Amino acid sequence: MKSFSVLPLLFLAFSLQAQVAFDDYFTDRTMRFDFMMAGNSTTTKVYPVSFREEPFWGGSLINLIDPFGYGNFRYEIFDAVTGKLIYSRGFCTLYQEWQTTAEAKQMERVFHEVATFPFPKNKVNFVLSIRGRDCHFSKLYETAIDPASYFITREKPDASLATRIAGSGDPHTSLDLAFIAEGYTSAEMEKFRNDVKRMAEFIFAEAPFDKYRDRINIWAVEAPSQESGTDVPGEGIYVNTALSASYYTFDVDRYLTTQDIRRVNDYAASAPHDQIIVLINSPRYGGGGVYNYYSAVTADHKLTPKVLTHEFGHGFAGLADEYYSSEVAYEEFYPLDVEPWEPNITTRVNFDSKWKSLIAKSVPVPTPNEKRYIGVTGLFEGGGYSAKGIYRPSYDCRMKSNEADSFCEVCQEALEKMILFYLK
């Protein structure tokens, strides 16, 4: 019963946001803003690159203002005349992860970034904010956008690259997932489409997605590579692929990502989409997921079903890693004197805002890391890459290990809230 007690409040929040009428401010296309983030462990600068009009707006026409407050960055769109907030979205980037590595203390780097939102009818102001170590947002960059400008590129993507694999719903009232091929040659596109069908079934089998199968559209977007596979720098393996995906991200052997977010979005534009999943043609273990950025997974490892759903938990709902004993590149990723924004971990600084109400009175808090508490929602110490000071909701969960059968109660609730956000 407790699992669903907060959902009516979410619907109330959504109804309050309905005051932004889509047709008053937007057309049913996408505005894409490409920019660069540059800096080191303590500084960040933003440099504009280009604007582009894309043909599909796949998101909701009603839920335009982000109610979650997730992400290490946030962009907001304001009507230029009235100053009214008409769209917002939180997100994370590989750049911010890199800022927490040892390398970022020694040098500066540049990362390409992309922000998308409905194509505005009139002039708007784009405001990009960054979350500080105190968890509060501050403005990082602002620019005016005139949708009539002839400097906005209006080249149409090749829509023939996209195939609808599952679902028949209107993208505006469905959750649309675009799988992009990586490391598949032109001759392997039938394998790619079949692999996407398998990935779709893995997602549909997982709670809470199983309840919404008829409201989820799956797209396969072909991005032909010259060679099969992916780079493994630690073993001297380099192949020519469409998205330049690579293991050893931040020198962690299993962390498989692409830093070419520009090309990822180039291909994703071929289909209406809410989330992007890069499907990598490899039998090796690995993947990655960054909130409202993309998720990535290999197609043919025996643990692919669990890796896919784990990484999609990051990319789709902003779920944090709940493990604390595996190798990572980060140094003090979460300050212990600040409540993290992720819904499934806490430092207890503001535990009332998390899952405290879901813990039964009979469950001790903190909850011992003992097997007798398997399947119980509690407060277990260890998570967010730290054995001490950070707590998770369950003894085990898909966000903690591959041994878990499913997401825990708290993660399922967070995932369901996000699904509902896209369906309205």
Give pLDDT, residue 3. Answer: 37
Give pLDDT, residue 328. Answer: 62
pLDDT of 300 > 60? The answer is yes
Give pLDDT, residue 20. Answer: 87
Give pLDDT, residue 365. Answer: 97
Give pLDDT, residue 394. Answer: 98
Q: Residues 181-206: what's their mean pLDDT? A: 98
pLDDT in tens, 259-284: 999 999 999 999 999 999 999 999 99
Strand locations in 151-309, DSSP E? 162-166, 175-182, 216-221, 275-280, 287-290, 294-298
Give pLDDT, residue 333. Answer: 79
The per-residue b/e assignment along 349-373, b for 16 or more CB within 10 angstroms, e otherwise, is eeeeebbeebbeeeeeeebeeeeeb
Give pLDDT, residue 19. Answer: 64
Question: To which residue do tokens 């330049």 refer?
Answer: 244
Question: To which residue do tokens 């660069």 refer?
Answer: 36
Q: What is the mean pLDDT of the chain?
A: 94
Q: Residues 56-70: what's their mean pLDDT? A: 96
Give the residue extent of every domain in the chain: 10-145, 159-318, 324-424
Q: In what order do the strands lie in the sheet with 109-120?
A: 44-54, 26-39, 109-120
Domain 10-145, second-level architecture: Sandwich (2.60)
Name the band, by pLDDT with cuts 50, 70 and 90, for residue 330.
low
CA 252 – CA 144 distance, rounded (Å): 39
pLDDT in tens, 89-103: 999 999 999 999 999
Name the band, by pLDDT with cuts 50, 70 and 90, for residue 210.
very high
Q: What is the pTM of this model?
A: 0.94
Give pLDDT, residue 11. Answer: 47
pLDDT of 228 > 70? The answer is yes
Name the band, by pLDDT with cuts 50, 70 and 90, for residue 343.
very high
pLDDT in tens, 351-381: 999 999 999 999 999 999 999 999 999 999 9
Comparison of pLDDT for 174 and 158, the residue scoring more: 174
Q: Residues 304-329: what's their mean pLDDT? A: 91
Question: Which CATH number is associated with domain 159-318?
Answer: 3.40.390.10
